[in-house]
Amino acid sequence: MLDFLNKKIYFVGGKGGVGKSTTSAALALLLSKQGKKVLLVSTDPAHNMGDLFHINMYGEITSVRTGLDVLEINSEKETFRYINGVKDNIKGLVKSTMLDEVHRQIDLAAASPGAEEAALFDRITSLILETIHQYDSIVFDTAPTGHTIRLLTLPELMGVWMDGLLDRRKKINKNYAEWMNDGEPVEDPIYEKLIERKDRFMKVRDYLLNYDQTEYLFVLNAERLPILETIKAIETLYKHKIHVHTLVVNKVIPEKADGQFMEKRRENEKGYLNEIQDVFANKRVLMLPLLDRDISSFEDLETFTINLESCLLAGREQDR
Ligand SMILES: Nc1ncnc2c1ncn2[C@@H]1O[C@H](COP(=O)(O)OP(=O)(O)O)[C@@H](O)[C@H]1O
Ligand SMILES: [Mg+2]
């Protein structure tokens, strides 16, 4: 089978509106049609998987057809769950007289801009480390570009940050042990928890940087800004050792679109398509046609999926 369809994890990135959610759904559907058990995870706040699969989503993993489950992550709910988890972890670690103040601080932190992201990342981490064993593949429909990059590079950043923190705590602990006891090491539960978390981040990182298991797709349209943004995003990811191998150029004007207006649009688009082939010469470039209406039903999604599959097959012929 095509190497591309044999991955464990897929991340689908790109600017809002280019067709990430549609591509993710189509890819998940295609994999499930190949007999795999697939989980499609949407982290986009504007969910529409329910519409695409004609099913109500309640923020939990929902089976939408044979071999295909969908999870729409609700970031507000996730932050709440995450914060409660943090509070639980702290229980027993701080003096009970301090608990109110500590909770107040945690609630303040929960309202900060990074909290939602941390919560989301925590959920993705547990999907990758635990839930993955129930599936052949997980497809992540990630939110717009900047956010996605931060999310994917977080383990690395956290790693560096935590190394520093762990060092400092070790030192403090050493002094503490020397002062308070007879130099005997004391147990440090916070230190243990930090190590545990760091281990988890490192494990996810191993998954994310293993190209036999993980594939990154970028969706774009044949227009100036999406091309520029894609170049920038791919470069940033590359700096963090994440390599994007596949591009989906979506909404390409089909041959059969006629009329003078379309002729002009196609002419304009041709320049950009050539540019894409040029700039991304070493990548797999899949071109998907603009359909005559938006993809809002399962039937439309099936048409889109057939196009995706034939693009992949054509690519394989070229590789030979
Ligand atoms: N090939 C296509 N032809 C026609 N409409 C499309 C195509 N791909 C996506 N769309 C429509 O474009 C809009 C944006 O797609 P979506 O997948 O939600 O983008 P994103 O997740 O990147 O924001 C949706 O209304 C979708 O139905
Ligand atoms: Mg989307």
Which atom of ligand 1 has the smallest separation from the CA of 24?
17
For residue 299, how far is its CA from the centre of ligand 1 (angstroms)? Answer: 14
Polymer length in residues for the chain: 320
The full set of domain ranges for the chain reads 4-78+113-319
pTM score, whole prediction: 0.87
Integer Cα distance of 173 and 190 in angstroms: 11
β-pairing, 68-72 vs 62-65, is antiparallel
Asked if residue 47 has its Cβ within 6 Å of ligand 1, the reply is no
Asked if residue 16 has its Cβ within 6 Å of ligand 1, the reply is yes
Asked if residue 307 has its Cβ within 6 Å of ligand 1, the reply is no
Pick the CATH number of 4-78+113-319 from 3.40.50.880, 3.40.50.300, 3.40.50.970, 3.30.1540.20: 3.40.50.300
Asked if residue 177 has its Cβ within 6 Å of ligand 1, the reply is no
270's tokens: 């041709």
Integer Cα distance of 298 and 54 in angstroms: 7
Asked if residue 155 has its Cβ within 6 Å of ligand 1, the reply is no
Which atom of ligand 1 has the smallest separation from the CA of 304?
1
- Of all protein residues, whose CA lies closest to atom 2 belonging to ligand 1? 290
Tens digit of pLDDT at every position of the chain (320 positions): 568 999 999 999 888 899 999 999 999 999 999 999 999 999 877 777 888 898 888 778 999 999 999 999 887 888 888 888 888 877 777 777 888 888 888 888 778 777 777 788 788 889 999 999 999 999 999 754 455 556 556 666 666 666 776 677 677 766 666 665 555 555 667 667 777 877 887 788 888 889 899 999 999 999 999 999 999 988 888 887 788 999 999 999 998 888 999 999 999 999 999 999 999 999 999 999 999 999 999 999 999 999 999 999 987 655 54
